[in-house]
A = this chain, B = another copy of it.
Amino acid sequence: MEKIAVATTGGDAPGMNCAIRAVVRTSLYYGMKIFGIRRGFRGLYEDDIFEMNSRDVSGIINEVGTILKSMRFSEFTDKKIREVAFQNLKKRGIEGLIVIGGDGSAKGAYSIFSDFNFPVVLIPASIDNDLYGTDYTVGFDTAVNTAVEAIDRIRDTATSHERIFIIEVMGREKGNLAVEIALACGAEIVLIPEKKIDWDEVFDELENQVKRGKVSSLIILAEGAGKAPEVAKILQKKFPEREIRFSILGYIQRGGKPTYFTRTLATKFGFEAVKMLKDGNYGYMVGFKNEEIVHIPLKEVVSGKKLPSFENLKLIKIMSI
């Protein structure tokens, strides 16, 4: 394989630039030509492709976002669109494609692979850590740290005032991000989409905390489990005398500078992805399982389901004693 290409697709995640850097430099190390695709699958379709060199990725290791730009491109579900994209690769003699992205990117990557038997490798990058087959995605560690830092600030405020504080965090329809944030923040309660909210349990827990002498309570709410203003209303109705506040963390969570772990993971994934193409291992996602680099068939990735850590849910409960 002499020519490969790389794209970032879907919502951006911290560390995507590190992954691009690793892909570019590993390709050059192995003597391959490497092409960048701007704006993900849209750029692939619109033929926005250019050759990259080592200096193109200088100084981006600690930069947020992606130098290749990333966009959602729903039209890519249309096979005719993909056919155009495939021809754009082919006409340049590009023999392999590395896609850096999350859930939706996995589907896109898999469809190129299955439609045209084109050599594709996926690098999982998403703040939601919602991809089946890997313990961690590029960007997740950063997003949790960013959220934890922001919540520390809010909690500092909260402890001056004796409140119930509800923090809505990202994660789309998954609770992975919320559970990790809750454990790291010392939150008393976490509400996730994978577990129906039992309001009586929540009320009891909040009452018991007061009995145990807690002056403030912190609730982490996954966006997939409910809306902060509504949860606040329900709690205020039950506890009219308590001061209840909420905050929606929002886009800040995407914008943290990549942490050490995110950078290292992105670098390892980038290296491995190129090596996989070189070695003829196609149609996989590169993953990290039990501290080892693994290859997961894209077919499994798109159909599998990742669950939050129920063991950590238990720890959150014990730690709120």
Residues of chain A at the chain B interface (Cβ within 8 Å): 12, 21-22, 25-26, 28-29, 54-55, 58-59, 61-66, 69-71, 135, 141, 144-146, 148-150, 152-161, 165, 180-181, 183-186, 212-214, 245, 247-248, 250-252, 254-257, 259-261, 263-264, 267-268, 271, 289-292, 312, 315, 318-319, 321
Contacts and interface: CB of A to CB of B under 8 A. Distances in A.
A293 to B, nearest CB: 10
Given A22-B319, A157-B255, A145 B185 contact: no
A141 B261 contact: yes
Chain A interface, DSSP helix/strand/loop, else mixed? helix
Contacts of A212: 54
A28 B321 contact: yes
Contacts of A29: 318, 321
A264 B146 contact: no
A157 B291 contact: no
B264 A184 contact: yes
Given A26-B318, A318-B25, A251 B160 contact: no
Nearest to A17: B160
A160 B70 contact: yes
A264 to B, nearest CB: 6
Contacts of A59: 159
A116 to B, nearest CB: 28
B255 A156 contact: yes
A227 to B, nearest CB: 12
A252 B146 CA distance: 12
A126 B251 CA distance: 26
Contacts of A155: 62, 255
Nearest to A181: B260
A318 B255 contact: no
A154 B255 contact: yes
A291 B288 CA distance: 10
Contacts of A54: 212-213, 321
B251 A245 contact: yes
A157 B319 contact: no
Given A62-B152, A153-B64, A248-B250, A184 B319 contact: no
Contacts of A247: 248, 250-252
Rank and list the top 6 A-B pairs by shortest CB-CB distance, nearest first.
A153-B255, A64-B156, A290-B290, A65-B160, A61-B186, A247-B250
Nearest to A215: B58
B267 A319 contact: yes
A103 to B, nearest CB: 17
Given A144-B260, A161-B71, A321-B25, A252 B315 contact: no
Nearest to A144: B260
Contact of A261 (B261, B289, B321): B261
Given A250-B248, A251-B154, A318-B29, A70 B161 contact: yes
Contacts of A250: 154, 247-248
